[in-house]
């Protein structure tokens, strides 16, 4: 009875100061948003606000054409421009997260008052779960870093740094030259775009996982403690560290340790085999250069396809955990393993040639 009277007095006081609250709420929101974000959040065209290193990706996005060739606007340039134009999306998501958090905290206060007045109709868990979800939304940077640490164990995530393929150089026109220039132009920009997509999708999945804290156990896999919600955070962490995850799966098959490398295609002894050499020359240096250019184009294209397939496999795995009838575990494994093999197409070809006793082209 005493608590009920105290709650009623609190509501009356709140209503009497409604004007002050309306003026104070926007100021509080802007203050929390501006002062709780990392300092590098507004450094353009940086694509990070959550402590996950991704800033160099935008600055390094360049097409494969040689500098000084003229005012070219290639497909690679279009991809880079699209990536730079999307640099404010994570900041927008961060603002929405803070807004959701403040809204849920206010709703938690209201639900607390309703619980005090009528405990039977409004259980105590109603305000508690709103406070919990609101706190998670307000602490989105910590939640995203937690999702990354869940997968990498505290290691840094990021995109595909130092990605490179270099084989041959067609000296004239023809279909092989067109294929070579196409792959060289879109290879790095498309990898940056895929990395940016993974980064933004990871943030969205973390927000989806936090929002599911408001549901009940009756929602099954999509409830607060459901396997679908757990995999939502797990998949978000995988997307934040997509290069390390692909490297780990590839290293499982090809006996290499990728965790110490700065990126999936980083330097050192553990980089992906993309450099091709002809074991038997045709006797004509120009023909050899054309052959290596075609091989390099195919390798680059297979790497792009492999990364896309791997990311698709991760999303299928989440659909399986959520009970989606159209998704299957076999499809997820096929995409993940097949994508890792496509990324490591050079190592696969080396293994196949060794198995059959062939020595036509070697990859290092």
Contact between residue 207 and residue 137 where contact means Cβ atoms under 8 Å apart: yes
Cis preceding-peptide flag for 273 (omega within 30 of 0) = no
Confidence of residue 296 (pLDDT cuts 50, 70, 90): confident
Checking if the pLDDT of 8 tops 60, the result is no
Q: Which of 151, 349, 165 is nearest to 259 (CA)?
A: 151
pLDDT tens per residue, range 59-95: 456 655 544 444 457 888 888 888 888 878 888 888 8
Q: Which residue has the higher pLDDT, 233 or 272?
A: 233
What secondary structure, in 3-state letters, does 176-224 show?
HHHHHHHHHHHHHHHHHHHHHHHHHHHHHHHHHHHHHHHCCHHHHHHCC
Distance CA 293, CA 176 (A): 7
Which residue is associated with the tokens 């775009």? Answer: 193
Q: CB-hemisphere CA count at 13 Å for 269?
A: 3
Q: Which residue has the higher pLDDT, 289 or 208?
A: 208
Q: What are phi and psi of 223, to 5 degrees?
A: -80, 180
pLDDT at 318: 93
pLDDT at 267: 39
Q: CB-hemisphere CA count at 13 Å for 21?
A: 9
**Averaged pLDDT for residues 45-72:** 46
**Averaged pLDDT for residues 17-24:** 46
**Averaged pLDDT for residues 243-255:** 81
Distance CA 317, CA 327 (A): 8
Distance CA 326, CA 178 (A): 39
Q: Which two tokens stand for residue 48?
A: 């990070």
Checking if the pLDDT of 149 tops 90, the result is no
Contact between residue 304 and residue 191 where contact means Cβ atoms under 8 Å apart: yes
State the chain's mean pLDDT as an integer. 74
Q: What are phi and psi of 134, to 5 degrees?
A: -65, -40
pLDDT tens per residue, range 152-195: 776 555 555 555 565 556 666 677 778 888 888 888 888 888 88
Q: Any idea of the CA torsion for 214, 219, 224, 229, to the nearest 10 degrees?
A: -120
pLDDT at 329: 92
Tell me, what DSSP letter sits at residue 225?
A: T
Distance CA 133, CA 128 (A): 9
Q: Which residue has the higher pLDDT, 320 or 248?
A: 320
Report the range of poorest mean pLDDT among 69-78, 163-172, 218-227, 282-291: 163-172
Distance in angstroms between the alpha carbons of the first and the last residue of the chain: 78
pLDDT at 219: 82
pLDDT at 210: 93
Distance CA 314, CA 332 (A): 7
pLDDT at 132: 92
Domain parsing of the chain, residue ranges: 153-363
**Averaged pLDDT for residues 270-283:** 61
Tell me, what DSSP letter sits at residue 258?
A: -
Report the range of poorest mean pLDDT among 30-44, 75-89, 252-266: 30-44
Distance CA 359, CA 353 (A): 6
């Amino acid at each position: 009875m005493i608590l009920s009277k105290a709650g009623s007095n609190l509501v009356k006081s709140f209503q009497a100061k409604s004007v002050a609250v309306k003026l104070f709420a926007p100021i509080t929101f802007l203050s929390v948003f501006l002062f709780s974000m990392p300092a590098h959040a507004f450094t353009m065209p940086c694509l990070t606000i959550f402590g996950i290193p991704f800033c160099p990706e935008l600055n390094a996005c360049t097409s494969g054409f040689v500098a000084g060739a003229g005012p070219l606007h290639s497909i690679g340039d279009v991809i880079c421009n699209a990536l730079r134009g999307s640099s404010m999306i994570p900041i927008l998501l961060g603002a929405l997260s803070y807004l959701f958090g403040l809204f849920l905290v206010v709703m938690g206060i209201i639900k607390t008052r309703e619980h005090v007045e009528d405990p039977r109709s409004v259980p105590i868990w109603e305000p508690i779960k709103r406070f919990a979800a609101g706190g998670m939304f307000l602490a989105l940077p910590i939640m995203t870093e937690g999702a990354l640490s869940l997968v990498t164990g505290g290691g840094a995530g990021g995109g595909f740094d130092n990605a490179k393929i270099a084989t041959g150089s067609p000296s004239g026109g023809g279909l092989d030259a067109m294929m070579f220039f196409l792959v060289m132009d879109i290879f790095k920009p498309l990898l940056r775009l895929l990395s940016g997509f993974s980064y933004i999708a990871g943030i969205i999945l973390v927000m989806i996982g936090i929002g599911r804290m408001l549901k009940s156990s009756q929602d099954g896999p999509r409830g607060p403690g459901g396997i679908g919600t757990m995999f939502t955070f797990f998949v978000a962490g995988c997307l934040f560290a997509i290069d390390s995850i692909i490297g780990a799966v590839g290293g499982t098959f090809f006996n290499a340790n990728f965790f110490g490398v700065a990126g999936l295609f980083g330097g050192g002894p553990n980089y992906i085999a993309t450099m091709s050499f002809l074991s038997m020359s045709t006797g004509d240096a120009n023909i050899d250069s054309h052959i290596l250019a075609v091989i390099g184009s195919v390798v680059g294209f297979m790497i792009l396809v492999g990364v896309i397939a791997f990311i698709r496999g991760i999303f299928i795995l989440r659909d399986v955990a959520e009970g989606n009838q159209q998704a299957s575990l076999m499809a997820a494994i096929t995409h993940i393993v097949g994508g890792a093999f496509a990324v490591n197409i050079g190592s696969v070809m080396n293994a196949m040639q060794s198995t059959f006793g062939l020595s036509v082209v070697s990859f290092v």
